[in-house]
Structure 1
């Protein structure tokens, strides 16, 4: 009897009668998550904050300031709705980054076909081209405001060459990025202070939460959605999550310290931009400005004449810092779509990034005589044309039972995801009709 007992194999998860399924192990881990200290949770900050920082660029600032200057507080609701939808799409992408075996586009190819994955990568690349226009124009105009009399186009070329150099000399990037973050943080602080010093009409701002569409505001609304419901940034969040090798046990903490605050923070800042612009440029009877010099007046209640300098420096910082992740993301996903690897180091990714930078210069030079504000708003609006495909793919993949397992979408996540998809689809159709109608 004892021989029979001792000859029986031990009950372990890896063998015979004691085997525990992978899903059972995952459920056990999910019910007993590892407790993390405050500092260990902060270490999870990453992909969503990158997506949020990417949003808060020159296109975002320009469309928001023009909204406040031209329509007062009426369009604040667009930012609130866009931010809410952006949180849920980014959350889906983060979960996909946790669960996909290689990359999101590779998983799309496996599940939905090669050409669907190719279309997704090209879609992100085309959106990056549109964003490159705002970044190029913004960086040039920001420096031209700092050095009166200088050419914005000249500064655009210099900034583009500088970005290309930084991408080649990676050791410099960390230092430059920290300096730019400080500059943008100073401008963000000024917006917060200005929101109170400029004495806005908070009751009117509250009414701005009620959806209304003023006459002639559709293009601006589409631009606001294109920058604040940035589906390409949400799509790329899966790559950042995958690069950091995040696990399912970390998902809850990622949501708390990264996904929600990383997207909500720039949304709040954008709403404050509209509030300040409405208070300084709209309520005073000043017409919507046709140049950035008019927009720079928003900091006068805080810093007087120095406010224009702070605005120009911060605007340049937001544009220059956005140029880097924009061209990296566009080049990387194009490379992945074409089967050349999901890395920014591939030849295809580098060529794609170079083309994005060159495109920004080319459009800036071609439309040098046009209003920079109108050019940026139009470029941001055009991003909506490619967003429905990316939104649909994120939702479909987040519902893939075999791929997602316990991180598959719940019904309420699908409801909000579909609302986001329908919104960008409707706006893209309206934009197409406007373009065709001239």
Structure 2
């Protein structure tokens, strides 16, 4: 959740940076008005409570001196009723403010370029040369069907559109990728964790998926949701906890299935495995001190990029502009891998620094001396397994339709 104190101290800058993230101006004004009303009512409440304390002391003194306290007791009762009524108003305003704030995204870092969408993202660098073919490269879905690796028809039979069955060598390569990614991340100091794929709504609230993005989530029974990414349960392992400062940073990696309705992606990437309702991912999650999060962010970007380099997959780093930066992120760098069949780069990893946004929602703090401080949380794909499989199929394809296995994966096959 955003730091509401920023509304009071610098609303103009607060407003400008959120407008760049496509936040409705009326929603911001309503948030400000509610915040000011709450402040006003809390001040009234403090004054009434001060009066109540003062008159209570006066009653005690007069009663001890055997003076008449009838009028004072009546005033106390009336003041007590006013306090109760005002308490109710404050509670209502607090609930209203929390509801309004819960759908306001994180404030962008000051160095984020202003832009409308992905077309205005900034390329930071390219890594490895794109391959040149003496033949016309095929898309992964043609290669997958011809080799018997990808079975789209039976995936649809089982579950409907945007589901795929992976078979044979394709399934072995998929498993090899998962093991390679986990080992690679562990070698960089990320501890492997295994978490549930079903979580409670307050856990999704903690990382920012609820209430804003409920339409993209799959809800199960018993008020549980299937996770859209393992960022959700891994970050929330420390929900409502105070972590000793000496234990930070906490660096974790997790393999999971991810489940998304992709409600806003009708008509996009309908062929193949680019955009699925169920997919596998190896995630990086870090919880750190505020003054260390920039360094941790750089380490996470390097880890994911070096993994792509180890697989010898050409890719580039993209700094996301304001209009393409996600709800919980203050800054995001995407890694985009080269897909020969599309003749362009496509996102394969997204690394975000959320600053204290998620920590405020999930109450994740650390103790530095006597003071409790909100932690900074970071997350990143490392990598989307299905998209990495696609990238290997397309970049390592041969003219006869076979696919070479990257050297670093051979021991896992």
TM-score range, shorter chain: under 0.3
* TM-score after normalising by structure 2: 0.23
Query: Greater CA radius of gyration, 1 or 2?
Result: 2
Asked which structure has the greater RCO (Cα within 8 Å, sep 6+), the reply is: 1
Say which structure is richer in helix: 1
Q: TM-score, normalised by structure 1?
A: 0.22
